[in-house]
Amino acid sequence: MRIAIGGFFHESNTFSPLVTGEEDFLIFRRGEIYAHQDAYLLAKGIISYFQEKAGYELVPLVFARAVPNGEVDAELYGRLKNEFFSYLEEAGPVDACVLALHGSMRVRGIGSAESDLLLALKSAYPSLPLFCGLDMHATVTRDMLRCTQALVGFKTAPHIDAWETGWEIARLADLSLSTGTKLRMGAARLDCLIAGEKSETDYEPMRSLIAELREVEARPGVCSASLLLGFPWADAEENGVTALVVTQDDQALADACARQLRDSFRARRNEFSFSVPAYPPEQALKLALQEDCKPVLVSDSGDNPTAGATADNTALISLLANELRHLTRGKNITVAGIYDPDAVRICAERQGQKIPLRVGGNFDTQYCQPVELRGVPLRLVENFGLYAATLVLFRTEEFDLILNSKHIGFTDLEPFHALGTDPLAQDVIVVKLGYLTPELQSIAAKSCLALTRGCTDEVLQRLPYTYPHDLI
């Protein structure tokens, strides 16, 4: 049997002023994905499953992924979608299509990319079975449910099971195709929004809710169960929490299990809280700077590029350079990082010189202003990481600042090492994140959230939603 595979993976923040364009994406056409699977682990899981099963031929179409950002440019999406369908038509008959999608990708002027793509597939190929792996923060729409045989989402936050989820959706496709089993999906929605920082799966109540999810999956006749939490920084009518269960030809069981999981989530609604202390920005920095252990990690949570913020908010560096300057004396402090291509260019031209530098506030003009710093561009690294960013280590009297030329997140220790910085030698590390990734957690003596204003404001009530939801 021939299986078409492809995917569009992007988490789109509708509060961001940025538009995600072609320069922000990694795009793999046809067989290119085989050489780049580690850049797209959900796709890798799908590919791995079918490559280990006899009797299947994979037909790769288009895979495109980007760091979370603002809504995707409509012209770019249209081109990628046209390529996808062109390759599918050229491929000839296929028995199914298995997709690696995010679930909360939005296109400017269109809305849900997943709904648009799946509706187009269903219209062009009405009898083609569609199976999709999703991020835990997928926004499940009615159209996604109507068009697909099965949806499966991540079960971990931070997300460490992307490969496993790809494997799981491929297994369900195989079950359906090889045995003729009719898959049935039950979905139960809860109209509420919750930030990932209040729903980490290693902490209660999510830990128990995921355990219940696993118990449901173990029941006879149940193939898969997912809790898809939606994406709180997307202003979308169908956003919310969805419990989703796939069974072997038992709609009543699927519906009952989905309702059970939804009701369990609703019953524990008031138990959700941040997994680490959370403070107003100035208090968070003061406490971190006064700790006697190191490193203390402070998440600039309102400007988290891994959830689509601009990554150029200056609130915390302004505090360090001004009001809290006296507390920085004798401290090793690194701020990672600020997205500012112009500042990176200036630093590249004047490396090693003491210079004035205007930093940040280019994109986030609502919640901050540019900050004037004076310091030395010490080190520069080009072509860093998957997105080939240029990084600069800019040293001021108060702190070291990592500047980057691309809209990326700092989720591991590689940027520090690349720039010659020892993270363990830092007293305080400010990082533009929400919850810390496992690698950053592993070095943190203590950590906290700074509840900064921005496109990923953790105080959801402060955001200008058009569509009303219950905000946790």
Domain ranges of the chain: 2-271, 278-461
Alpha carbon distance 43, 156 (integer Å): 17
**Which pLDDT belongs to residue 87?**
98
Segments in 241-333 forming alpha helices (H): 251-267, 281-290, 315-321
**Which pLDDT belongs to residue 121?**
98
User: Which residue stretches of the chain have pLDDT < 70?
Assistant: none
pTM of the full predicted structure? 0.96
State the helix-helix crossing angle for 206-217 and 251-267, rounded to 10 degrees: 170
**Which pLDDT belongs to residue 390?**
98
424 within 8 A of 295, measured Cβ to Cβ: yes
Chosen CATH of 2-271 out of 3.40.50.300, 3.30.479.30, 3.40.640.10, 3.40.50.2300: 3.40.50.2300
**Which pLDDT belongs to residue 163?**
98
In this structure, the strands spanning 371-384 and 57-66 are unpaired
Question: What Rg, from alpha-carbon coordinates, does the chain have?
Answer: 23
Q: Tokens 């989530």 label which residue?
A: 265
